[in-house]
Structure 1
Amino acid sequence: MSPREAWQRYLDGRRTEITDESAATYHYRLKLFVEWCERNEIETVSELTGWVLDQYESARSGEGVAATTLHNEMETLQSFVEYLERIEAVDDGLADRVNIPDVPDDEKSRETKLAADRALPLIRHYRSNERAGSRNHALLEVAWHTGARLGGMRALDLRDFDASEQTLEFVHRPETDTPLKNKRHGERIVALRDGVAKTLRQYIQSDRWDKHDEHGRQPLFASLQGRPSTNTMRAWMYAATFPCVRGSCPHGHDPETCEFRSHTHASKCPSARSPHHVRTGSITWHQDRGVPREVTAERVNASQDVIDRYYDKATKRERMELRRRPHLEKLEIE
């Protein structure tokens, strides 16, 4: 079996257990390996050895890829080789010879976050002016308050907002193109504060497109065509977090002529933030505000370990000032 044939068989077998987004990631990572094999005249997977795998790692490292990227690629390659072992296409134990380079914790996730000292004034500004209840306002406020992933936000239907109970329900609906990352385990009901629920009611009444998607469902965050693509929602979030929404541009641009304000260039604004950055900032804020770790984990649908490693971006001083100093009185001796 050629590396390309094995690659396709592996992906086909995993599509039932992973999301489309994860499948696309694995597709790309292994595509690089398969193409490298073909360039080096490795015609069958039976030719794979520890030496060959080490050569591939060295080749990728020599291309200057980031340490985290190489770590993730080799981790995926190891999973692929484990599959080849299982179907007896390669020697047992070959997967153990895949080296997964260690990455320091501070290198594993350098993601920028939307900091609370930017997010909170921005949300207050939206609430207090003519943009209150706009789509961008509602999207930002819900994302910040719930810490939801982009896919979860896109999956929300109008019916998932209970205005009387002030809740949002995240539901895994893969058969109609809105899977959640953790599938059924990602389903949850999230309670909303009064101000967030008010923003959503304003948005629904004034700025939401009354549209159905191709499956007859009514997206909560709707576009003129129905349910927006992830790229469209990402562009909306970039626009929602422009610094010029509530003040002058810190980069010296004129908002009237700035190219970043166009849909296709929104991500180029140095101060704009993606949905993932908003989620990261939100989770850090939850922790800073003293929300119990297990409550945050259920609310944002991420394990406590993942939160600690990848999302909680508080500095050492922030951890001391916001999380530990408030408990000092508990240590009083007299």
Structure 2
Amino acid sequence: MTDGPTDLAPREAWHRYLDGRQTELTEETASTYHYRLKLFGEWCEDQGIETVDELNGWLFDQYESYRAGQDIASVTLHNEMETLKNFVEYLERIEAVNDDLAERVNVPHVPRDERSRETKLPTERALALIRHYRSSETLRGCRRHALLEVAWHTGARLGGLRALDLRDYDRDEQTIEFVHRPESETVLKNKGEGERVVALNERVCETISTYIQSDRYDEHDEHGRQPLFASRQGRPNPNTIRVWMYLATFPCIQGECPHGYDPDACEFRNHSKASQCPSSRAPHHIRTGSITWHCDRGVPREVTAERVNASQDVIDEYYDKSEKRDRMEKRRRPHLNKLNIE
């Protein structure tokens, strides 16, 4: 038991910090912060730092140099130091450290184009895969096909895909609904503000309906709900969804392997190594590609923002990967007639 906030050990302090933010952070975000602060806490222990009262600008500079020397990406270092700065601001608030200590945490500048996530499933690959699934007698309507179609057409996050129930799909209305259900352990990133109904076109509905009729496991989760994307055990965990998406985006599904591997003998076909295929993509990469596709097809920014549950500013900065010339031709040139002087 500590005598006061200044006596808190770094490890105890960041646990208190994250415990206090449980109601506002999703499980995935809290896990990310936990990992970043765990790295800092372990480094402090290695340096013999016993209490937060010992923290100072020189130690923060040493830690930043230590992490930078581990050859991590510039955006990773930026994010880690930003989380550390927020943690130190918490320490200021509880009067565990001096009021101006957070200002001594340097958050390295990263250019906007480097902060954005460049890895995505390119439109041409996504559409080729979807067309192949649709035309294949053996693959049409399989779970991987349905998962890819829903992810691509809604731009949903992994958590949103996992949270979907069978009842959230309405064939007659051609919609799918994302609902925040924390009481039964499926939360949306933005909680209640992430709830939305997304319209689907006929071909996507055909895919989902075929999947439900022919390939979906008729299982319930531990809360009695019926997951749309079900495993034999009920609702899959997040990593299982990731693996399914990796498997769904293998390039050899609709063509030759671009990396020279024999698909019949390729080790990436193993579930545990699916993520190591250079061309397989995770749910977030599909989301990034999907949002870019929406923008390139001329879907209004406000409509895209509603469909994918992201602000227009965030879409512009992190997800819209259109080439500059494409942006001009597809989104700006049609407005030139508004600038006529005659």
Q: TM-score, normalised by structure 1?
A: 0.96
Q: Distance in 2 between matches of 1:222 and 1:16?
A: 28
Q: How is 1:40-189 mapped onto 2 (pairs within 5 angstroms)?
A: 40-130=47-137, 131-189=139-197
> In structure 1, what is the equivalent of residue 4 of structure 2?
none
Match of 2:332 in 1: 324
Stretch moving more, 246-255 or 215-224: 246-255
Equivalent residue, structure 1, for 2:5: none
Equivalence map 1:266-285=2 (5 Å):
266-285=274-293
Deviation at 1:97, TM superposition (A): 1.8
2-side partners of 1:126 and 1:62: how far apart?
Answer: 45
Bigger drift between 125-134 and 198-207 goes to 125-134
Among 206, 223, 229, the residue aligned to 2:237? 229
When the two chains are superposed, the root-mean-square deviation of aligned CA atoms in Å is: 1.5
Q: Distance in 1 between matches of 2:246 and 2:46?
A: 40
What is the aligned counterpart of 2:314 among 303, 306, 319?
Answer: 306
Q: Which runs of 5+ in 2 are unaligned?
A: 1-7
SS of 1:72's partner is: helix
- Tell me what 1:240 maps to: 248
Question: Which of 17, 26, 39 is the equivalent residue of 2:33?
Answer: 26
The CA distance in 1 between the partners of 2:116 and 2:210, in whole Å, is 36
Shift of 1:229: 1.2
Q: What is the percentage of aligned positions where both structures have the same residue?
A: 73
Query: What's the CA shift string for 1:262-306, capped at 9, x where partnerless?
Result: 211111111111111110000000000111111111110111111
Distance 2:332 2:253 in 1: 34
Distance 1:173 1:248 in 2: 42
Question: What secondary structure does 1:107 align onto?
Answer: helix
Give me the whole-angstrom Cα distance separating, in 2, the residues matched to 1:256 and 1:186.
41
Provide the C-alpha distance between the structure 2 equivalents of 1:257 and 1:37, rounded to a whole number of angstroms. Answer: 46
Task: Give the whole-Å Cα distance in 1 for the aligned partners of 2:281 and 2:261.
Answer: 17
Contact 2:121 2:288 in 1 (8 A): yes
Q: Which amino acid aligns with 2:109?
A: D
CA distance, structure 2, for counterparts of residue 259 and residue 179 of structure 1: 34
What is the CA-CA distance between 1:175 and the residue it aligns to? 1.9
Amino acid of the residue matched to residue 176 of structure 1? S
The residue matched to 1:264 in structure 2 has which SS? helix
Q: Is the contact made by 2:151 and 2:283 (CA closer than 8 Å) also made in structure 1?
A: yes
- Would the aligned equivalents of 2:117 and 2:319 in 1 still touch at CA under 8 Å? no
2: CA distance between counterparts of 1:54 and 1:252?
Answer: 45
Shift of 1:2: 0.9
Q: Which residue of the partner structure matches residue 251 of structure 1?
A: 259
TM-score, L = length of structure 2:
0.94
How far apart are residue 86 of structure 1 and its match?
0.8
The count of aligned residue pairs is 334
Corresponding residue to 2:211 among 203, 217, 235: 203
**1:328 CA drift (Å):** 5.1
Tell me the distance in 1 between the aligned counterparts of 2:87 and 2:293: 38
1: CA distance, partners of 2:333 / 2:143: 38
- Tell me the SS of whatever aligns to 1:265: helix
Offset at 1:5? Answer: 1.1
- For 2:311 and 2:39, the matched residues in 1 are separated by 30
Higher mean C-alpha deviation, range 23-32 or range 114-123: 114-123
Deviation track 1:240-270 (CA, whole Å, cap 9, x = no partner) reads 1111111121222222111111211111111
Give secondary structure in 2 for the equivalent of 1:42: coil
Q: Deviations over 1:47-79 (max 9, x none)?
A: 112222222212222222211011101111111
Structure 1 runs not aligned, ≥5 long: none
Give the distance between the partners of 1:208 and 1:54, measured in 2 at CA: 53
Deviations 1:9-31 (A, max 9, x none): 11111112101111111111001
1:12 aligns with 2:23: no
